[in-house]
Structure 1
Amino acid sequence: MRPYARLGLLVVSAIVAGCATAIDESETAARAAAALKASFRPAGQAGLDRLEQDETQRACSLAAGKAPPKDVAAMIEQTNLATIRYPADGKLLGDWKNGERIAQEGRGKQFSDDPKGPVGANCYACHQLSKGELSFGTIGPSLYQYGKLRGNSVDVQRYTFGKIYNSEAFTACTNMPRFGHKGILSEQQIKDVAALLLDPASPVNQ
């Protein structure tokens, strides 16, 4: 049985195991989702596909903001780990200067964005990356001196590339977007952001 099929069974089991109130809530959620879908239209870089949850998103929604059960979390991570596509050329790091631009670029995947325009990672919305940055979010951990603290081994490079590509492979129900899995960033963009985090010359590691 494929990982996503097993994850789907876990989600269904969680629903069936709930009480009548949970079923009522499920019906209410379905009606709310239908109302949302009816009220939206595709515009800019935002399509209606983002209203459709995959098995991972459904499982995390059932957790309602809390850590999912250990078996569900393990299946989520296993399922998403299988989706990571590492570069065929074996090169995991790109240009950190391009990575800096991508990290600071907040445009992308919004209804107001030009469909042909740039798509960034908007890393500073959730993380501190450099000492000189005056404004940054705190939803995610500080990444300042990320490479300086972890080193630049192949294992660290693979983890970093994979984490950016699909964060759910390492932390179930994380707030971090699945940049590669969802097609938000290209392979080269992920390489560049990974270089920003790991290159000794990057402002992240000063």
Structure 2
Amino acid sequence: MIAMNHSRRAAGFAALAAAVLIVGGCAAPESAETDGKVDYTKMSAEELGEYLVMQSGSWDLKQEVQEGGTARERMTQDELQKVCSEARNQPSPEQAGQIIADARASITYPEGGIQLGDWRRGQDLSWGGFGFRIAHNPDDHSRRDPSGNCYNCHAMSPDRVGGTLGPSLTAYGKQRGNNEATRRFVWEMMYNPHAYFPCSNMPRMGAKGLLSHEAMMDIMAYVLHPDSPVNQ
């Protein structure tokens, strides 16, 4: 995902690289031992991950991405991600206050107010992982709208197993109701969750243009509508 944390990305690729080296039975690729330019054994996990992803040429960082720009630009942290990485996702009160203010300033609202869309389409969008994938077979947004991939992090309706990284949303609408205050909170959380939880792991679906206003309202309907499986 676009909002991926820089240090987490580096550590993840470093762990994978370490596993490959161990399985291969050597401390570093042969090329690293002979060309004199790179000595993996002297790198920390973060340095190794950074090198493999951003410098080694293992990934095509010149590839164009759907939001515009290149894969390298996507992998480069914005100011919010830099602050959260440096703070290990534990910002100081001053940092947190600025993050919240910036996040709230980024939020826009649909014309005509925040309404519930089609919960059936919202179900498909919540279950789907389509959108913004690149490599050899990039997602074509002209043929299909990006999905929210909500189930990757949240439990939602009982008929499908969800993730545990985020809080459970099962029976969310039944418990909180479909009122203006609830709709506004859900909209703002989806649009930019840092408005409530600075350095949140949740993607900035609206602020980063990952979902359209229509798609967000459809997903909101899946979470809040009384007929949705989420609230049965």
**The TM-score by the shorter chain falls in which range?**
0.7 to 0.9
Aligned to 1:124: 151
TM-score by length of 2: 0.69
How many angstroms apart in 1 are the aligned matches of 2:57 and 2:175?
45
Secondary structure in structure 2 of the residue aligned to 1:132: coil
- Residues 54-91 of structure 1 show CA distances to partners (whole Å, capped at 9, x for unaligned) of 22111111112x42112111211111111100112113
Matches within 5 A, 1:1-206: 32=51, 35=55, 39=59, 40-42=61-63, 45=66, 47-48=70-71, 49-64=73-88, 66-111=89-134, 112-115=137-140, 116=142, 117-133=144-160, 135-206=161-232
How many angstroms apart in 1 are the aligned matches of 2:127 and 2:56?
30
Determine which structure has more spread, i.e. the larger CA radius of gyration: 2
How many angstroms apart in 2 are the aligned matches of 1:153 and 1:37?
51
Secondary structure in structure 1 of the residue aligned to 2:106: coil
Secondary structure in structure 2 of the residue aligned to 1:160: helix
How many angstroms apart in 1 are the aligned matches of 2:146 and 2:187?
18
- Residues 71-118 of structure 1 show CA distances to partners (whole Å, capped at 9, x for unaligned) of 111211111111100112113321111110100111111113333343
Q: Which runs of 5+ in 1 are unaligned?
A: 1-24
How many angstroms apart in 1 are the aligned matches of 2:57 and 2:199?
23
RMSD: 2.4
- Residues 100-158 of structure 1 show CA distances to partners (whole Å, capped at 9, x for unaligned) of 0100111111113333343111111111001111x321111110011111112101101
How many angstroms apart in 2 are the aligned matches of 1:41 and 1:102?
29
Aligned 8 A contact 1:143 1:204 in 2: yes
Secondary structure in structure 2 of the residue aligned to 1:82: helix
Aligned 8 A contact 1:44 1:114 in 2: no
Secondary structure in structure 1 of the residue aligned to 2:131: coil
Consecutive aligned runs of 4 or more in structure 1 exceeding 4 Å deviation: 31-34, 36-39
- The 1:166–1:36 alpha-carbon spacing in structure 2 relative to 1, beyond 3 Å, is farther
Q: Which runs of 5+ in 2 are unaligned?
A: 1-43
**Greater relative CO, 1 or 2 (CA 8 Å, sep 6+):** 1
How many angstroms apart in 2 are the aligned matches of 1:36 and 1:137?
33
Residue identity in the other structure for 1:35: Q
Identity %: 37
Aligned 8 A contact 1:37 1:51 in 2: no
Residue 168 of structure 1: CA displacement? 1.3
How many angstroms apart in 1 are the aligned matches of 2:170 and 2:54?
42
TM-score by length of 1: 0.77
